[in-house]
Amino acid sequence: MQTTAEYTCAFCGEPNTTFVDLSAGLTQAYIEDCQVCCRPNQLYITVDDLSLGIEIATDYVE
């Protein structure tokens, strides 16, 4: 099952929307380019197993 979630770009601070595949596990990490500044962000995704709430932390990609 796929859903969307928002994160803030680690570089420019702009909000972005991303697709999260809930069937890929409760913790995920991958790189996605910012939709505004096009710089790569490392996304660390945590899914709450009861509410399916999604939390995304970002970091710079070197």
State how many domains the chain has.
1
pTM for this model (two decimals): 0.90
At 11-40, the pLDDT tens digits run 999 999 999 999 999 999 999 999 999 999
- Burial class of 11 by CB neighbour count within 10 A (0 to 12, 13 to 18, 19+): middle
Predicted local confidence at residue 62, as pLDDT: 78
- Give the structural domain span for 19: 2-60
In this predicted structure, what is the pLDDT of residue 1? Answer: 77
